[in-house]
Structure 1
């Protein structure tokens, strides 16, 4: 998974840069994306175009929206009649109720991206992004009992320590998801304090605390929690052993629903 924390700029080259949320534009664990050129002709419900991974030429990309800012992506190589391959979930955009409709991004090293993107109803705006240490997860939810079906829950991004997975999350909100407080646990440690402040649709700026109630708070990364935009997350209780998490969550105005988080990985390469 290749997650980027991005900023956007509008109003000219000397204008300030603004928080742009989190993008995920690739799910190959050992191959970073270096280009993304896609557009939407239906207001952000779907995208078509090309992308490029390190060591390859451009390959086809098509993506269909499944939840707020989350798209199921497929890649094609070998000609227009060749088969399409599952590329996992992408995060494309971060605004509440305003879909992205175009991306024109490039990278020299896969660690940073630059270019432009467009939200519906606007012109192109600048993009600059840095690869995030956060880990992307495919989320599913269940309601209606243990035998009920599981439903797409979007793509989440957790943590800020690339070599130390999140194995526990116990947080709740008293303001309909604008803020989340509680504890989290990284593998090999005990629980530490957690505070998250919602900055965009499902994006939270997180800080952590350890060492007691009077200890300082430390940057904890940009997280993506939930997939319903205006319906904020108000509780999460999930545990795991380092490869994923399971438990329950609540959206504002609802009761608890089942939650499963599995790391986002696409195993098929164009060179296969």
Structure 2
């Protein structure tokens, strides 16, 4: 699963680059995408086109949006009559209520970076740069109404910012309707550290951590994706693990709702069939 930190540019080649959020592009752990060319003809509800993974030829892509900037993706190879294969859940886009309708990017370094253009609905094409970023993608489900009720789709989240060190606990709340989150978190093989995060895009939070006491400096901790809904941010989140971060479970709250159960599982690699 390839996590990318994205920047966008508009206004010419000398214009500044702007925060573009955390995206998931591709679904194979050890095989990066090296080209993606997608378009939508229905306002971003679906995307169709082609892509290439490192070391392979061009394959077809189709994607269907669900939730906020989450897409269920399939790939096809072997001709137009061949079967479609599951290609995981991607996160494409950074804005609420404005889906991407085109993405055309390539890599010259094996997928460590991607560059090209993207287009948001009702706008023209803008510059796109992306670099591989640390963190862990999780498939999330929620439950409300009691322990006998079904678990429901909760989207794909991105938690943590360290290589090979899983998140094993989070306990955060908001006092400003989800604009910021504060509390504590724990990485594997460490004690709890301070956590604060600011909402900078659709479910994208710029995170900082603090250790060494309340007067110690806050350290950058990357961009996390927390939540799944348009314009309804998370206002509380409490997660623990009993398997070293492969799964996390607990409770969460969306703005203007009560607490609901949450279960999160590390996204597994989607292999070509």
TM-score when normalising by structure 1: 0.97
- 2: distance between equivalents of 1:247 and 1:139? 11
Structure 2 residues without counterparts, runs of 5 or longer: none
Q: 1:74 to 1:266 in 2, by over 3 A?
A: farther
1:195-239: CA deviations, max 9, x gaps? 000000110000000011111110111000001131110000011
The equivalent residue for 2:29 is: 29
- 2: distance between equivalents of 1:154 and 1:267? 17
- 2: distance between equivalents of 1:142 and 1:66? 18
**Structural RMSD (CA):** 0.9
The equivalent residue for 1:133 is: 134
3-state DSSP of counterpart to 2:6? strand
1:117-145: CA deviations, max 9, x gaps? 00000000000111110111111111111
- 2: distance between equivalents of 1:144 and 1:138? 21
Contact 1:86–1:266 at 8 Å: present in 2 too? Answer: no
Which has the higher mean CA deviation after the structures are superposed, 142-151 or 37-46?
Answer: 142-151
Q: Which consecutive aligned stretches of 4+ in structure 1 deviate over 6 angstroms post-superposition?
A: none
Q: Kindly state the Cα deviation for residue 30 of structure 1 after the two structures are TM-superposed.
A: 1.4
Q: Does 1:151 align with 2:152?
A: yes
Q: Kindly state the Cα deviation for residue 244 of structure 1 after the two structures are TM-superposed.
A: 2.0
Aligned counterparts, 1:1-272, within 5 A: 1-108=1-108, 109-240=110-241, 241-269=244-272, 272=273
Which has the higher mean CA deviation after the structures are superposed, 154-163 or 260-269?
Answer: 260-269
3-state DSSP of counterpart to 1:78? coil
- 2: distance between equivalents of 1:229 and 1:131? 25
- 2: distance between equivalents of 1:106 and 1:138? 27
Contact 2:38–2:49 at 8 Å: present in 1 too? Answer: yes
Contact 1:66–1:152 at 8 Å: present in 2 too? Answer: no
1:73-103: CA deviations, max 9, x gaps? 1111111111111111100101011111110
Contact 1:96–1:230 at 8 Å: present in 2 too? Answer: yes
3-state DSSP of counterpart to 1:49? strand
Size of the aligned set, in residue pairs, is: 270
- 2: distance between equivalents of 1:77 and 1:113? 23
Contact 2:88–2:270 at 8 Å: present in 1 too? Answer: no
- 1: distance between equivalents of 2:160 and 2:8? 23
Q: Kindly state the Cα deviation for residue 267 of structure 1 after the two structures are TM-superposed.
A: 2.8
